[in-house]
């Protein structure tokens, strides 16, 4: 059985694909939860700046799509790690790409989940899918939606677009990430 | 040939007027190359201390002031010529120029620009033609090529969206304009030509010849959805067909 | 004898690869493992012997990320 | 039940407009609402409509004005500086009573502000009327994708019903956030023909129409203004909308609109979970302002906290309602989590303030 | 010649489209004559029932709607082309035209007008050039002749007030304009020519040829400070020197 | 004693500006203030200044903005629709804190209104801020040629002192009417150099200046708004101006500004002559509004009558001050003697209303 | 024989005298004692015999204040 | 001795010169009174419409330059006569050009002073100076300022302008009007 409420914030530098992660996750959650919200925060007028997005799944109406202290965070750059290590709810989990984030964290009341996302992505042949590796890992651990649903959302995202050729690679990255999380 | 000592001399570095701030532009954006053109011309003319730039809304709104170390104001969308007109009337000895995107000058600011021309203001306008709205993410600009896809002409620019806007020719058409030219920086040769053209434009202002206008064709890899290298090819193959390079007007004084 | 040298400033380079495109002598190449600040791949100066210190790469770099030096014979 | 669709607030604006019968969209790019014109440029032709990218917001509003006089359901959307440029035109639509819809996806101001991020600083421009004065526009302030979708339809109806400009006031947060929206098509009372529309064809009544000056339409300046006041009165009597939740036992009343009201709702959830008696009063129409209802709710509670991502805009209307009879606190943009443009007011911060006050 | 019966036939009276309202114009104002041109052309083309006029701010703001019995909107200063664009997009079969003074079109509305042209709107613009701001009492207009005195150029228009603005030529210059001409009504012969020109302009719109533009040189006795009769002479001697009459462009379609 | 000169209110604007050091005037014709640019076009060159006729009010405000950044004392004047077109620009001057003066000779609105006759409908646009929001401008509301002449000088001083846009709000009646004006040149405290001015020459401190975005100047969005709020606070503390006459024993307090306050003054003369205890409270600064002083005066009197040639604009500020503690009546444009554009509110009509209320 | 006749509508005429200027036959003249509504002097039709009903005065009157009639021989 | 307060409204159709009368009178009064106000009301955007102006002389500050019920009115067209007959203060005087105004008035509590202004003007050679005749008559009767002062104000108005040639005629018209008023 799924619990009734999930919240996660993805954070990283523009161009790294964190907003995409949120959109795909939200899409996947739509089938399973009565209420889903997605909120991206970035500088529309500046490329390459910090961006983050929050996805909430709930069976009750979502009062606000914003949360300052999420239970889960997926971070792709060192600054985001520092920020979300601070902001995370006690008992929360922070997922980080440990290929690029060396900090290990100070808090004892949260779990830091290390994913060698960039390494894995390079291994898969394209650094650009590091985000998908992280997403797969996140879902593997938190299990808010089944990985199959996530893959279908990935398919929906890429199919029929200019970037359809990247679909399989992205799905593979999700699966590999998922495995990384399930392993331990 | 003796085996004498060798000296290492800097032949190309950061111009003095280029501040230390990293640029705000996307990778491969030609605005960065144009920044060099402007810095070097101002330095060569020793006008860095006399220049006031008025940057329009667009990618150069903050981008230009941050990277070129002269007096600047960033201007509300399309209104740089009005602000520059006032500054030039107040400081007639200063070198006053506007730096405006193709949306800024060709759409919202078209009237403001032409009215400054019609008032015989003694200004220089640097017109950045990247065939689209960079800052806002790639909408139709007056300069967008026919058939070119933008986020607001997703099937490509059609008849009812108008024909592409030709800034340099329109400027040259006006009696109050002493100098008008179109350049690019997409090859090293054109980079050099662009410097010569901008030098002439600034000189026209300082000699009171009349309005001077320089249009830069500029690659916008982000909005064009191409790599920087492909964007250079796109300029050569498509942009220059619609927008021929050259001087369209060069007279000593509009008052003769 | 080497005529020129370029220094690529990896803190300002954005990895656009225009320098690679413009160098007439093929002296520059995109690396496979060095990254720019924002995570793109950095160019490398691979053929110092060929460099004629023409300055082109420096002039055409939108990010002022290349310094070009020329070696001048003191005795000349 | 109608279909549900996951969409951003900006998309809800566009889809709601089409559901509301809008077939002509005139607009100019400006962050953070570019996806609205982009959507419209793609979708309008599919529903037999027309999208025109104007050359500026000044032209947008005049295209809207011209289109309204031509009898069509027309709209534009923009963000703060763009809306400022429309003020003269908005005043003209009020003079000639041209029905139309304007969406403002507001961003931080003044000036260029943050270039397109969160901010609710436009309250006065939108609600008090920033053009040459003596008029009102209806202002709807949705707080969710669903409300946006429905209020867009309502906006077109109200505009036509009262021959008035109807604003929908969104913001960066509402525009960006995505939620599931039920594609509910609203039905409204039937409205009379726009006999006054300029069509360039002979009218049913054989008359030609001219729209020249407002006072001539009513025979004089006083008569004209009296007619306007009467209309405004009718709207004030019939169209006030608000939502009051948890106000029965509230000892602290939060007053907030738009995305910030969502933030407050979450903060109230947190506070109620700890037993604090907090309620929310959310004006849905900012003009007409639910003054009487707010006063009642405020007097019942012991104190009021107005929350707005601004530096003191709506507070004046809250003060007008409350008449200094209970204390009115204000939590403004300084409650953001960051000094940088991407700062936001989070529910946790509002909760903190609630705790401080109770 | 027989001494047969004679019949009295009206050869010139009030056109049907001329409403019964007295005009709002000053004695001797040529706007009244232009009113006749417009009425008669609309009647001859049987377009009275299909026409929507958009009158700019200026003396014709109320003046035209009150006297010409077609659909009208009076428009905020300079914005007639935007309003007309919307109306034409909504009613593509209507004849949609703007009627704008030289301040309205050449100053505040220059960008709005040219942007309508740049969007390839299928409109007609009637441009009233009286070399000044009539309604507000005689200030400098873009069309004011060099040296001409106005209330804001009391020593006569100088260099730094700009050169006179040429509407018909500027319109003709634009690719999206199918037809552009300048006429007057200061002699009976020119009155007839003006009718022919306006007829062509309206026909261009109805055939979808492209934007059409007709500039009327018009006497403004009040602001010029002359009698109506002297104003006619002033047109002949001064206005026509700066503003030559004629067709500047006449093509079948802008899309060829 | 300074010379006296008989002049209209519009001429007093121009002469006062020159006395206040204004040397650059940018403006566009619009009734009923055309004599201001006309005067300036003739006189500016004589004092070594420059007059530029802009192509529109949009450009006027940007010339003023550019001129202000160039370090000069600059101004424009306009009337209602023209001011509406300046709203975006006004907001930009607030962002970058560019000191300048804008005169609004208001006319009846909305839209084209009466084409240039009496009206005070612009209160909200001027006082509440009609542009993208979060800012204030100082608003001076003179009621005589003398005050206009002096306030123009004050306006330039306050603008420079606080780096803010200062409005002088005149109207058709004030602009047209002529009175003797004493050509008194005011002296003010010395102000520091405009070190930030763009001159295209190397600055004393060797620095170049750029004016790009407000929040960057202060390091962040919150910091920027806090700085603005602090400045606004300083102005509210130091620059409130009003005049209270016959308020000591008043049983009815008239509240009115500008030309209508003159009308009230005469009505009060008439009423006092018949023994009625009526006083006048005249806000001279409309922002900052003399709220506390008004509340005090209003509470002392038994009731308040707000008189304005409008349909309910300033009343909100009076209500905010009075807090429903005494009744506030309103006499608006329907008190004009005629329905036609040339209608006016005459002293006799206000007197009648006083009699009705007492 | 008279070929034409004009009627000057004194309620709309503004006394601008353009008709006088434009009549090729000198048929119109400004009166010395008849006034328009606004107090200007009215034109008069003084040479009916000369009028050729050319319509010029009517066309050129800015105020639509002249009706021009032509006498047509029925037998023709 | 002059009384301390005078108020007069001039009214007529645009182009008839009523605003000029007010300006000249105000100018003349400047020398004699501590306070003078002038207020014209007309449609700046329409030529030939009704226009009026009010001049007030006082030794006390003038509370408002507006008065709905003036003591004196000078009217140049029939509509203005009707209006100001109604608006005049009891005991007031209305001056009218009886060449163009045939109405005789209904009120008994005011005086109607008839001036054959247009007739006199035509006699002087130019209908345009009818206004000056009325002004002269008004001053002749009310004596708020000496006629010499008025003439100096007329001189000031015309001297050095395009219309200087009309100065003598205008002065003459004032004098003739003045005589008309003094006669009885
Ligand atoms: C009044 C107003 N309208 C719209 C915008 C939004 N805006 C910012 S940049 C821009 C377009 C810029 O395009 P362009 O001038 O071509 O410059 P580029 O970014 O391509 O250099 C627009 C419309 C704005 N800032 N202000
Ligand atoms: C926004 C705005 N600015 C200014 C005005 C004032 N105004 C009315 S008419 C006019 C000028 C008209 O001149 P022109 O367009 O040449 O028309 P004309 O009266 O000469 O026919 C102006 C500036 C206005 N109504 N609205
Ligand atoms: S969007 Fe285009 S113009 Fe703007 S910085 Fe990026 S590449 Fe340059
Ligand atoms: S051109 Fe400059 S920014 Fe681009 S890759 Fe080369 S060094 Fe880097
Ligand atoms: S200086 Fe010239 S040769 Fe040397 S690397 Fe640069 S472009 Fe190549
Ligand atoms: S002011 Fe000039 S244009 Fe206007 S009506 Fe009078 S004569 Fe005609
Ligand atoms: S042209 Fe017409 S208005 Fe002018 S005088 Fe003749 S009839 Fe009268
Ligand atoms: S119809 Fe011809 S001839 Fe007869 S009066 Fe008129 S202009 Fe003269
Ligand atoms: Mg661009
Ligand atoms: Mg004109």
For the structural domain made of F4-182, what CATH number should be given?
Answer: 3.40.50.970
All residues at 6 or more sequence positions from B234 whose CB lies less than 8 Å from its CB, including other chains: B219, B224, B226
* pLDDT for res E2: 45
Whose C-alpha lies nearest to ligand 6, atom 1? E134
Contacts of H78-87 with C-beta under 8 Å, sequence gap 24+, read H78/H102, H78/H103, H79/H50, H80/H11, H80/H12, H80/H50, H80/H52, H81/H105, H83/H11, H84/H9, H84/H11, H85/H110, H85/H112
pLDDT tens sequence across G21-55:
999 999 999 987 787 777 678 999 999 999 999 99
* pLDDT for res H118: 87
What is the pLDDT confidence band of residue C1, given thresholds at 50, 70 and 90? Answer: low
Mean pLDDT to the nearest integer, A61-69: 97
Mean pLDDT to the nearest integer, D248-261: 98
Q: Residue G64 Cα, ligand 8 centroid: separation in angstroms?
A: 14
DSSP type of residue G74:
T
CA–CA separation, F108 vs F117, rounded Å? 6
Q: Chain B: give the shortest CA distance to residue F200, in Å.
A: 4
Cα distances from F81 to residues B187, B243, D344, F115, F309, in angstroms, run 50, 40, 36, 10, 17
Q: Closest Cα partner for D312 from F166, F136, F219? A: F136
Count of beta carbons in the 10 Å neighbourhood of residue E93: 11
Q: Chain F: give the shortest CA distance to residue D317, in Å.
A: 9
Length of chain A: 184
pLDDT tens sequence across E12-60:
999 999 999 999 999 999 999 999 999 999 999 999 999 999 999 999 9
Mutate to test the pocket of ligand 2, among E102, E133, E215 (most ligand atoms within 8 A of CB): E133
CA–CA separation, F280 vs F255, rounded Å? 6
The encoded tokens of residue F27 equal: 């403006």
CA atoms within 13 A on the CB side of A41: 22
CA–CA separation, B25 vs B35, rounded Å? 11
Nearest CA in chain B to D44: B152
Strand partners, B97: B53, B124
Residues of D in contact with E111 (CB under 8 A): 55-56
Residues of chain B with a CB closer than 8 angstroms to some CB in chain E: 106-112, 114-115, 118-120, 142, 159-163, 165, 170, 173, 175-176, 255
- Cβ E35 under 6 angstroms from ligand 6: no
Task: Give this prediction's pTM.
Answer: 0.97
- Asked whether this chain's domains D4-182 and D243-357 adopt the same fold, the reply is yes
CB F246 within 8 A of CB F282: no
Q: How far out from the chain centre does Cα A160 lie? A: 23
Touching partners of E (3+ C-beta pairs < 8 Å): B, D, F, G, H
CB E94 within 8 A of CB E51: yes
pLDDT tens sequence across B25-48:
999 999 999 999 999 999 999 999
pLDDT tens sequence across F286-302:
999 999 999 999 999 99
Cα distances from E88 to residues B90, D22, E52, in angstroms, run 44, 17, 9
* pLDDT for res D201: 74
Q: Is 80 exceeded by the pLDDT of residue H107?
A: yes
3-state secondary structure (DSSP) of residue E54:
strand
Q: Do A45 and B135 touch (CB under 8 A)?
A: yes
Mean pLDDT to the nearest integer, F59-84: 98
Mean pLDDT to the nearest integer, D3-26: 97
Q: Closest Cα partner for H170 from H17, H65, H32, H27? A: H17
Q: Between A43 and E41, where is the model more confident?
A: E41
Q: What is the residue-wise DSSP string for D119-161? A: --TTHIIIIII-SSSS---EEE---SHHHHHHHHHHHHHHHHH
The encoded tokens of residue B118 equal: 């019609």
CA–CA separation, A16 vs A77, rounded Å? 9
3-state secondary structure (DSSP) of residue A157:
helix
To the nearest whole number, what is the mean pLDDT of chain A? 91
Length of chain G: 76
Q: Is 50 exceeded by the pLDDT of residue B2?
A: no
* pLDDT for res H15: 78
**Facing B91 at nearest CB: one of F70, F211, F213:** F70
CA–CA separation, F162 vs F160, rounded Å? 6
CA–CA separation, D26 vs D48, rounded Å? 15
What residue ranges define each of the domains in chain E, with the CATH number in brackets?
24-250 (3.40.50.970)
* pLDDT for res H46: 65
Count of beta carbons in the 10 Å neighbourhood of residue H89: 17
The encoded tokens of residue E138 equal: 């005689």
Residue pointed to by tokens 């304007």: D102
Backbone conformation region of residue D323, classed left if phi is above 0, alpha if psi is from -120 to 50, else beta: left
Which ipTM was obtained for this model? Answer: 0.97
* pLDDT for res B75: 98
CA–CA separation, H120 vs H134, rounded Å? 10
Domain H5-182 class in CATH: alpha beta
* β pairing state of H50-58 and H35-41: antiparallel
CA–CA separation, E183 vs E171, rounded Å? 14
* pLDDT for res H128: 86
What is the pLDDT confidence band of residue B4, given thresholds at 50, 70 and 90? Answer: low
The encoded tokens of residue A142 equal: 């938190």
Domain locations in chain G as residue ranges: 2-72
Number of H helices, E strands in chain H: 6, 6
Residues of chain A with a CB closer than 8 angstroms to some CB in chain B: 44-48
Q: Kindly tell me whether chain F and chain E come into contact, counting contact as 3+ Cβ pairs under 8 Å.
A: yes
Mean pLDDT to the nearest integer, A95-116: 91
CA–CA separation, F42 vs B249, rounded Å? 35
- Cβ E167 under 6 angstroms from ligand 2: no
> Relative to the alpha carbon of C44, which ligand is closest?
4
The encoded tokens of residue A136 equal: 């797969």
Mutate to test the pocket of ligand 8, among G27, G28, G44 (most ligand atoms within 8 A of CB): G27
Q: Is 60 exceeded by the pLDDT of residue D238?
A: yes
Q: Residue G20 Cα, ligand 7 centroid: separation in angstroms?
A: 8
pLDDT tens sequence across E135-174:
999 999 999 999 999 999 999 999 889 999 999 999 999 9
Count of beta carbons in the 10 Å neighbourhood of residue A1: 3
* pLDDT for res A8: 98
Q: What is the residue-wise DSSP string for H65-118? A: S--SS-SEEEE-SHHHHHHHHHHSPTT-EEEEETTT-----S-SSSEEEEE-HH
Q: Would you tell me which CATH number, out of the four given (3.20.20.210, 3.40.190.10, 3.40.50.920, 2.40.50.100), belongs to the domain D243-357?
A: 3.40.50.920
Strand partners, E125: E98, E213
Residue pointed to by tokens 């009923």: F32
* pLDDT for res A15: 79
Is B114 in CB contact (< 8 Å) with chain D? no
**Facing F53 at nearest CB: one of E57, E135, E139:** E139
Q: Is 90 exceeded by the pLDDT of residue E102?
A: yes
Lowest model confidence (mean pLDDT) among A179-183, B165-169, B196-200, D28-32: A179-183
pLDDT tens sequence across B82-123:
999 999 999 999 999 999 999 999 999 999 999 999 999 999
What is the pLDDT confidence band of residue A2, given thresholds at 50, 70 and 90? Answer: very low
Q: Residue B22 Cα, ligand 4 centroid: separation in angstroms?
A: 13
3-state secondary structure (DSSP) of residue H184:
coil
Is E223 in CB contact (< 8 Å) with chain F? no
* pLDDT for res H2: 46
CB D350 within 8 A of CB A58: no
Give the E window 26-65 contacts with G, CB below 8 Å.
26-33, 35-36
Q: Is 50 exceeded by the pLDDT of residue A1?
A: no
Count of beta carbons in the 10 Å neighbourhood of residue D204: 8
Domain locations in chain A as residue ranges: 5-182
Lowest model confidence (mean pLDDT) among D109-113, F216-220, H156-160: H156-160
* pLDDT for res G1: 67
Q: Is 80 exceeded by the pLDDT of residue F318?
A: yes
All residues at 6 or more sequence positions from B206 whose CB lies less than 8 Å from its CB, including other chains: B47, B95
Q: What is the residue-wise DSSP string for D231-248? A: HHHHHHHH---EEEES-S
The encoded tokens of residue F43 equal: 């006189």
Q: Closest Cα partner for D96 from D144, D135, D41? A: D135
Residue pointed to by tokens 């009171």: B208
Mean pLDDT to the nearest integer, H138-163: 92
Q: Is 90 exceeded by the pLDDT of residue H44?
A: no
CA–CA separation, D306 vs D319, rounded Å? 10
3-state secondary structure (DSSP) of residue A6:
strand
Q: What percent of chain C has pLDDT over 70?
A: 93
The encoded tokens of residue F23 equal: 């040397």
All residues at 6 or more sequence positions from H23 whose CB lies less than 8 Å from its CB, including other chains: F178, H38, H53, H157
Count of beta carbons in the 10 Å neighbourhood of residue D198: 30
What is the pLDDT confidence band of residue B3, given thresholds at 50, 70 and 90? Answer: low
CB E128 within 8 A of CB E218: yes
Whose C-alpha lies nearest to ligand 3, atom 1? B134
Residues of H in contact with E136 (CB under 8 A): 45
Q: Is 80 exceeded by the pLDDT of residue B172?
A: yes
* pLDDT for res A3: 54
pLDDT tens sequence across E219-233:
999 999 999 999 999
pLDDT tens sequence across F115-141:
999 999 999 999 998 899 999 999 999
* pLDDT for res H47: 67
CA–CA separation, F109 vs F124, rounded Å? 12
* Ligand 3 pocket, CB under 6 A: B 25-26, 29, 31, 59, 130, 134-135, 220-223
DSSP type of residue F128:
I
What is the pLDDT confidence band of residue H1, given thresholds at 50, 70 and 90? Answer: very low
Q: Residue G62 Cα, ligand 7 centroid: separation in angstroms?
A: 7
Q: Residue E134 Cα, ligand 10 centroid: separation in angstroms?
A: 5
Residue pointed to by tokens 């019920």: H69
> Relative to the alpha carbon of G14, which ligand is closest?
7
**Facing D323 at nearest CB: one of F119, F323, F340:** F323
**Facing B120 at nearest CB: one of E106, E159, E170:** E159
Q: Any idea which architecture G2-72 has in CATH?
A: 2-Layer Sandwich (3.30)
**Facing F211 at nearest CB: one of B70, B74, B118:** B74
Is F59 in CB contact (< 8 Å) with chain B? yes
All residues at 6 or more sequence positions from G6 whose CB lies less than 8 Å from its CB, including other chains: G27, G28, G45, G51, G57, G58, G66, G67, G68, G69
Q: Kindly tell me whether chain D and chain C come into contact, counting contact as 3+ Cβ pairs under 8 Å.
A: no
What is the pLDDT confidence band of residue E4, given thresholds at 50, 70 and 90? Answer: low
CA–CA separation, E134 vs E61, rounded Å? 11
CB B202 within 8 A of CB B9: no
Atom of ligand 8 nearest to the CA of G19: 7
Q: Is 90 exceeded by the pLDDT of residue H163?
A: no
CA–CA separation, G60 vs F347, rounded Å? 49
Q: What percent of chain E has pLDDT over 70?
A: 98
């Amino acid at each position: 059985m799924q619990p009734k409420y999930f919240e996660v914030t993805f954070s990283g530098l523009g161009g790294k694909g964190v907003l995409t992660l949120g959109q795909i996750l939200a899409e996947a959650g739509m089938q399973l939860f009565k209420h889903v919200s997605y909120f991206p925060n970035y500088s529309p007028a500046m490329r390459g700046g910090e961006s983050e997005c929050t996805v909430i799944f709930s069976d009750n109406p979502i009062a606000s799509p914003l949360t300052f202290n999420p239970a889960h965070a997926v971070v792709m750059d060192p600054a985001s790690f520092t920020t979300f290590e601070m902001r995370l709810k006690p008992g929360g989990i922070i997922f980080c790409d440990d290929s690029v984030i060396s900090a290990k964290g100070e808090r004892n009341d949260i779990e830091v989940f290390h994913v060698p996302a960039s390494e894995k992505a390079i291994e898969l042949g394209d650094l650009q899918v590091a985000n998908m590796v992280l997403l797969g890992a996140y879902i593997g651990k938190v299990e808010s939606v089944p990985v199959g649903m996530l893959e279908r959302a990935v398919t929906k995202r890429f199919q029929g677009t200019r970037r359809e050729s990247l679909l399989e690679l992205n799905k593979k990255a999700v699966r590999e990430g998922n495995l990384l999380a399930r392993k331990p | 040939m003796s085996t004498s000592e060798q000296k290492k001399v800097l032949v190309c570095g950061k111009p003095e007027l280029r501040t230390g701030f990293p640029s705000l532009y996307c990778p491969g954006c030609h605005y960065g190359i144009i920044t060099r053109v402007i810095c070097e011309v101002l330095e060569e003319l020793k006008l860095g201390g006399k220049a006031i730039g008025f940057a329009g809304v667009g990618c150069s709104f903050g981008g230009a002031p941050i990277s070129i170390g002269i007096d600047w104001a960033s201007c509300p969308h399309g209104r740089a010529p009005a602000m520059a007109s006032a500054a030039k009337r107040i400081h007639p000895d200063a070198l006053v120029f506007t730096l405006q995107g193709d949306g800024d000058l060709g759409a919202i600011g078209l009237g403001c620009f032409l009215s400054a021309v019609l008032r015989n203001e003694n200004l220089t306008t640097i017109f950045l033609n990247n065939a689209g709205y960079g800052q806002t993410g790639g909408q139709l600009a007056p300069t967008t090529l026919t058939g070119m896809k933008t986020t607001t002409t997703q099937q490509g620019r059609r008849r009812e969206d108008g024909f592409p806007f030709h800034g340099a020719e329109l400027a040259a058409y006006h009696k109050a304009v002493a100098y008008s030219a179109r350049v690019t920086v997409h090859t090293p040769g054109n980079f050099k030509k662009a410097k010569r053209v901008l030098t002439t434009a600034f000189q026209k202002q300082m000699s009171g010849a009349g309005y001077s206008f320089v249009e830069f064709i500029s690659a916008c890899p982000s909005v064009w959805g191409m790599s920087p290298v492909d964007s250079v090819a796109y300029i050569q193959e498509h942009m220059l067909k619609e927008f021929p390079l050259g001087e369209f007007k060069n007279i000593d004084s509009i008052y003769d | 004898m080497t005529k020129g040298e370029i220094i690529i400033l990896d803190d300002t380079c954005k990895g656009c690869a225009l320098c690679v495109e413009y160098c007439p002598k093929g002296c520059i190449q995109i690396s496979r493992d060095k990254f720019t600040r924002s995570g793109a791949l950095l160019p490398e100066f691979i053929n110092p012997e060929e460099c004629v210190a023409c300055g082109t790469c420096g002039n055409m770099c939108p990010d002022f990320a290349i310094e070009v030096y020329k070696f001048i014979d003191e005795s000349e | 039940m109608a279909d549900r669709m996951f969409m951003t607030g900006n998309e809800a604006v566009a889809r709601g407009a089409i559901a509301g019968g809008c077939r002509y969209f005139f607009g100019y790019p400006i962050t953070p609402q570019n996806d609205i014109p982009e959507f419209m440029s793609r979708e309008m032709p599919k529903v037999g409509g027309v999208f025109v990218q104007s050359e500026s917001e000044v032209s947008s509003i005049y295209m809207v004005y011209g289109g309204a006089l031509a009898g069509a359901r027309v709209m534009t959307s923009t963000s703060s500086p763009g809306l400022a440029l429309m003020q003269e035109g908005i005043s003209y639509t009020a003079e000639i009573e041209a029905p139309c819809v304007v969406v403002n996806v507001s961003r931080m101001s003044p000036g260029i502000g943050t270039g397109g991020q969160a901010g609710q600083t436009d309250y006065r421009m939108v609600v008090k009327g920033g053009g040459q004065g003596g008029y009102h526009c209806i202002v709807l302030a949705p707080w969710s994708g669903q409300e946006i979708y429905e209020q867009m339809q309502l906006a077109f109806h109200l505009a036509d019903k009262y021959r008035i400009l109807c604003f929908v006031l969104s913001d960066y947060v509402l525009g960006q956030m995505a939620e599931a929206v039920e594609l509910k098509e609203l039905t409204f009372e039937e409205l009379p023909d726009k006999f006054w529309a300029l069509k360039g064809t002979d009218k049913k009544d054989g008359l030609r129409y001219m729209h020249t000056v407002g006072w001539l339409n009513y025979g004089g300046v006083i008569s004209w203004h009296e007619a306007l006041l009467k209309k405004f009165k009718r709207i004030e009597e019939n169209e006030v909308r608000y939502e009051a939740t948890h106000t029965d036992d509230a000892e602290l009343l939060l007053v907030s609109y738009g995305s910030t009201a969502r933030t407050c709702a979450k903060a109230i959830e947190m506070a109620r979970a700890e037993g604090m008696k907090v309620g929310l009063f959310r004006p849905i129409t900012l003009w007409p302002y639910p003054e009487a209802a707010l006063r009642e709710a405020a007097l019942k509670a012991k104190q009021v906290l107005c929350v707005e991502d601004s530096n003191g805009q709506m507070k004046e209307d809250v003060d007008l309602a409350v008449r200094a009879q209970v204390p009115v606190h204000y939590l403004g943009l300084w409650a953001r989590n960051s000094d940088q443009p991407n700062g936001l007011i989070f529910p946790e911060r509002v909760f903190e303030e609630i705790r401080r006050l109770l």
